[in-house]
Structure 1
Amino acid sequence: MPAQRPGGGPRARTAGQAAPREGVVAGRLLKITRERTGRTQQQLAEDLRMDTTSIQGWESGRRPLTATQTGRLRDVRRTLLRLGADPALLVLLEEALDADAVLAHALAGPPPADPRDHPLSGWVVTRDTTHMLAWALTGVLPTSVPAPPPGRHGRTAAAPLLGAGERRAVFDHMRAAAVLGHRAGEDGALLRRQALYLCSYDDAPDTAAWLAGMRRRLPSPRRDRWTPYWADQRSVAASLTRHGDTDAIHAFIADGLGGLGETANLNYWAYWLGVDTLPQADDSFMATRPTGSWDGLALLRRLTGRLAPHLGCIDLNVHSVWALVGSRRGLLSAADPELTGDLGRRVTRLLDSGAVSRQSRAELESLHYGLRLHRM
């Protein structure tokens, strides 16, 4: 049968054309999880009382885990846990399934006419899901997934990398989805923003120019009133740094932060870095969620790890740490010596590096002074 597109009709496949592997991310993660338990495909099949070809189909992506009955998938996860699987990998399996669902939708054809029918309109995608998508689009292993030992094909064989044609189809779909979301205005805000960010992983020569053109079409962020375009501008600016353009992130810091923008920025960091684990249906939580609802120390710890000179968004990261410390009285006093020591070393390294803007340098000096007072 022809491939069925969610929210639309079937898309014809030419004779001899292979069906897209729509379960590659969860399948690869399942393979890594199984191998780390020491079980073979045959042994796991025996544990699950099923045939080996089913395990082979799941791990290769030919039989997507997204099409597996919920009860069977629960059995797989619980059996792997009993066999000694890393619980963190089993949690990530849910993120991998979300990634596969998005990829399957993109590979099935153009976006649906109604932006609300697109999976990227349904929830604010987490960092882990985004990195799972990037795994299939770039081959870069997510930091949350341990690298498998090199086999006879080397470590590159471990990536669930889509074929070149499939990757092009996904990126073309995401560009079309971003335009669709833009035409829908605020009703298409979440689809637009998330599709734009995924487009930043595209290494096509025109990607940076295309992203910059989309950015120019967006209204400027406002400090006094929340609009979804604030999140658009933040994501597009961060996306452009991946292509070497840091002007956009500096413009966003100047125009989009301060007032309500500071609250939105910290709330989004808390969600993106996994400190605030509540799922969100749209971006409005950035402005409405009380910043005291998540652990400030946990966010400081994770943001501190992002104070590295080589990062394109380093000035946004510096500002975010400075704003977090300034908004939470006693945060440095409550931090353990290991955290404050790491923060101090990173602040000093950045001050010595010359890799930050004048504003960031002033903010780093303020942090350095605060850390000195904390040690007295």
Structure 2
Amino acid sequence: MTARQVPSSRKTLTGSQSSPRKGREGVVTGHLFKMTRERAGLTQQGLAEALEVDTTTVQGWESGRRPLTALPMARFRALGRDLLRRGADPSLLALFDVALDADAVLSHALRDDPARDLVGHPLAGWVFTRTATHMIVWALNGVTPAALPVSPSNTSRRRGPVPTGSLLGASDRRQFFGHLRRYAEEADRAGEGGALLRRQALYLCSYDAEPGTHEWIAHMRARQPATPRPGAWTWADARSLATSLTRYGDRDALHAFIERSMADDAGELANLNYWAYWLGLDQLPRGDDSFMGRHAGWDAGALLRNLVDRLHPELGCIDLNVHSVWALLTARPGVLSTDPRIVCDLRERVSHLLDSDTVSSQSRRELDAVHYGLRLTSL
């Protein structure tokens, strides 16, 4: 639990705010804090007594009325150490940095912002990972991020209805997505200077279930080159847009991207680099998308394990996942010898996909090639 601090207006010494938008700053961090406390077997009153604060302070941290994002750095870090000493799960504490980043995006969008500062927007400053993205989405659709460890069976829970996540209200969600649309359009007009903001805002907008979102994303895609090349800022943008459209059952853009923009070594390298960063295997922070075109030192075995886990026929991006596994094994054929369990799991998943009718003809050819390689491995 470190201390990447989130800008917050009108702070007070108690960490509360005088803003009428109380309860919407720090909602993700607050719920993660609540989850951490509960799984450590601590009550609000017990923790408050141990920390020598009022119970209402702990309640405020968890609800967002007194957002943790407004605490001074030293206090925030001390709070994390206190929780660790009292039995908190270290894997939950390690996620607080990411939760703070998620809250930075959410609070920025839910705060009146007529200036349209493209450079200062939280989505313009660094490339988000899957965990950071899922933390944001947690507040939009209530789906628990994959990075959160499963709750122990002995975790105590309050009686009565209890929120299971950091879900925002309907009006806040509408405001959030409206904010992202405005910024994506402004960033689009800025060209390369707004590339990262445009890409990440568009991707988050794909979680908006409102009518018309699919058409709007497709329109934004039409403004980009038909065949973006690796190394150009439009390449990562096209990849994100293609995967976004699969949420609406539209796979044509993804098939076109795989065929046109991943048809050479540069495209395959960029895709694998993106996967490694997205999945947290490349842990260096990235300020823009240019790293995708350079050779990186990620662990091929770890990347393969993560990609194999994504070979589910019901996933909208299944064709990209199949192609990525095929490309990784083509580039690093020796990776299969690093873990026999991967070979068994991959063989089972490939056979299942070949028996289904959910993949494209190109994916089927690639699965056949992977299946043949697995047979050679077992000889």
Fold conserved (TM > 0.5)? Answer: yes
Structure 2 residue matching 1:178: 3-state secondary structure: helix
Aligned pair 1:200/2:206, yes or no?
A: yes
Structure 2 residue matching 1:322: 3-state secondary structure: helix
CA offsets 1:320-372 (integer angstroms, 9 cap, x no match): 000011111311122x1211100110000000012111110111011111111
CA offsets 1:34-72 (integer angstroms, 9 cap, x no match): 000101112112222322222111100111111111111
Distance verdict in 2 for CA 1:7–1:18, change over 3 Å: closer
- The structure 1 segments of at least 4 consecutive aligned residues displaced by more than 6 Å after TM superposition are none
The correspondence of residues 293-312 of structure 1 with structure 2, limited to 5 A, is 293-312=297-316
Aligned equivalents of 2:72, 2:357: Cα separation in 1:
55
The correspondence of residues 187-336 of structure 1 with structure 2, limited to 5 A, is 187-223=193-229, 226-259=231-264, 260-288=266-294, 290-291=295-296, 293-334=297-338, 336=339
| Cα shift at 1:182 | 0.4
2:116–2:183 CA contact under 8 A, matched in 1: no
1:45–1:52 CA contact under 8 A, matched in 2: yes
CA offsets 1:177-224 (integer angstroms, 9 cap, x no match): 11111011000000000000010110101110111011001123434x
Aligned equivalents of 1:115, 1:329: Cα separation in 2:
43
1:25–1:132 CA contact under 8 A, matched in 2: yes
The correspondence of residues 337-352 of structure 1 with structure 2, limited to 5 A, is 337-352=340-355
Aligned equivalents of 2:38, 2:141: Cα separation in 1:
23
Aligned pair 1:56/2:59, yes or no?
A: yes
Letter in 2 for 1:197: Y
Q: Which ranges in structure 1 are unaligned for 5 or more consecutive residues?
A: 1-5, 9-15
Structure 1 residue matching 2:219: 3-state secondary structure: helix
Q: Which residue of the partner structure matches residue 70 of structure 2?
A: 67
Superposed CA RMSD in Å reads: 1.9
Letter in 2 for 1:249: L
Distance verdict in 2 for CA 1:117–1:7, change over 3 Å: farther
Letter in 2 for 1:265: N
Aligned equivalents of 2:112, 2:94: Cα separation in 1:
30
Q: Which residue of the partner structure matches residue 40 of structure 1?
A: 43
Structure 2 residue matching 1:353: 3-state secondary structure: coil
| Cα shift at 1:114 | 3.4
TM-score, scaled to structure 2: 0.91
Letter in 2 for 1:258: A
Q: Which residue of the partner structure matches residue 12 of structure 1?
A: none
Q: Which residue of the partner structure matches residue 175 of structure 2?
A: 169
Q: Which ranges in structure 2 are unaligned for 5 or more consecutive residues?
A: 1-6, 10-18
Aligned equivalents of 2:29, 2:94: Cα separation in 1:
11
1:347–1:364 CA contact under 8 A, matched in 2: yes
Aligned equivalents of 1:219, 1:64: Cα separation in 2:
43
2:227–2:261 CA contact under 8 A, matched in 1: yes
Aligned equivalents of 1:350, 1:268: Cα separation in 2:
24
Aligned equivalents of 1:210, 1:151: Cα separation in 2:
42
Q: Which residue of the partner structure matches residue 13 of structure 2?
A: none
